Homo-oligomer: A and B are copies of this chain.
Amino acid sequence: MAKEVIKIGMLGMGTVGSGVASIILNDSAMLQERTGMEIQLKRVLVRDVNRRRAVDLPSEAYTTAAEDILGDPSINLVLELMGGIEPARSYIAAALERGKYVVTANKDLMALHGQELLELARRHNRDIFYEASVGGGIPLIRPLKQSLLANHISRIAGIINGTTNYILTRMDQDNMTLDEALAKARSLGFAEADPSNDLEGRDAAYKLAILAGLAFHRRISLQQIHVEGIGGVTREDIHYARELGYTIKLLALGEQLPAGLGLRVHPALVPLEHPLASVLNEFNAVFVEGDAAGEVMFYGRGAGSLPTASSVLADVLEVGRCLRCPVENGVPENSHKEATVLPMDVLVSSFYLRLQVQDRPGVFAALANAFGDEQVSLGLIMQKRSEKGIAEIVLVTHDVVEERFRRALQRIMKHPAVQPGHSVFRVLS
């Protein structure tokens, strides 16, 4: 039985690369026994060959010249773990042009340039695998590409950023402020020095672009996604939400509507009985609704060296299967048309609103009229005892077109008795 040998050239040896290398070295017998394939980590591109590393590769494995990998005909798989757009994109393109398969964990690259790189792969009868680019160790790409292929997916809803989910969980369970929770996240390594991509929702938007493209079989541009971060979430909102039977999560949402797709990242109230409500701390989950399978959810660690390495290696083994029979008929993602993405205004949602009003006659009637005139029906209402003549009102509407809600809100905020400042969050239905 001829044994397949996967000869890997790895670009980058940071936390994920070290995790991958350690599994390849320490578990080579296990991998070979389970798959009939031998995996060799032949060369690794690094910036500093002399740097001391946790994983012990022979010194000749390290190089600072990408050509040592891209130009080596014995290397059949290039593993891109550098991150960033360039030179990762150029290296991946070169690898494909020279007949090598590519495995990447590069979320930014796949979100921004995935389509063109997958087309390039097709032209060279190769493929790019990117399970590790979204959701760490959670199988997401392969289930969407293969297991759920017979479904028309109507919606995906994901908690796909561990930093913000950790922060929101700590604000809820430990009554921390956002800043306190962020400091704790940093101390535990769940937040980077500059966490703005996480806090502002951009990290989640990149991942949504990748997942939604697969789920809805469309090409998606990042700028089509409406993005809001968690900066406006307060402890007060979290506690009111819980009283009303909800928790607050940063959700990445994609939905197939008759006229096109809805794509957005924003904080949202999630019913406590929804499976997504029990996804806590640094854990991630993606909830998918398909017309055949119904509701399916994938949950796990969305980041980290070993979880990401788990997904990288699953893709490496997939390449091994491809080496036995190169892909002849192209790569499914290439048949995707451009997405028609609907503006937020036309999307239907229910809304949570918290505001302060002067506690005097007629104010609530004014609110009720503003809503009624826009056909906004109210589902839940809470008014707590006022302090110093100011009452705090919390409402949850029924489903309404966003544009109508916004108009009603604008009118309400102009009312003289309504204090400036309010919180609005959409509610997951």
Contact = CB atoms under 8 A, between A and B. Distances in A.
A4 interface: yes
A293 interface: yes
A300 B297 contact: yes
A239 to B, nearest CB: 19
B329 A36 contact: yes
A195 interface: no
Interface string A128-145: 000100001111001100
Given A139-B296, A329-B324, A332-B34, A150 B217 contact: no
B19 A311 contact: no
B143 A310 contact: no
> Within the oligomer, what is the number of copies of this chain?
2
Given A142-B146, A309-B150, A313-B292, A330 B300 contact: no
Nearest to A19: B292
B314 A1 contact: no
Contacts of A1: 328-330
Interface string A256-297: 000000000000000001010111100100000011111111
A357 B299 CA distance: 44
Nearest to A316: B150
A296 B19 CA distance: 18
A294 B278 contact: no
B296 A33 contact: no
Nearest to A140: B147
- Secondary structure class of chain A's binding surface, majority of residues: mixed
Given A34-B149, A146-B317, A324-B329, A23 B278 contact: no
Residue among A217, A306, A318, A330 facing the most chain B CB atoms (10 A cut-off) = A306
Contacts of A31: 149-150
Given A4-B329, A298-B298, A314 B139 contact: no
- Which of A138, A279, A293 neighbours the largest number of chain B CB atoms within 10 Å of its CB? A293
A381 interface: no
A149 B295 contact: no
10 contacts: A30-B152, A33-B335, A34-B149, A131-B147, A137-B293, A139-B139, A142-B143, A150-B314, A275-B278, A294-B306
Interface of A: 1-2, 4, 19, 23, 27, 30-31, 33-36, 131, 136-139, 142-143, 146-152, 217, 273, 275, 277-280, 283, 290-301, 304, 306-307, 309-311, 313-314, 317-318, 324-325, 328-330, 332, 335
The 4 closest A-B pairs by CB, nearest first: A325-B325, A137-B293, A150-B313, A139-B147
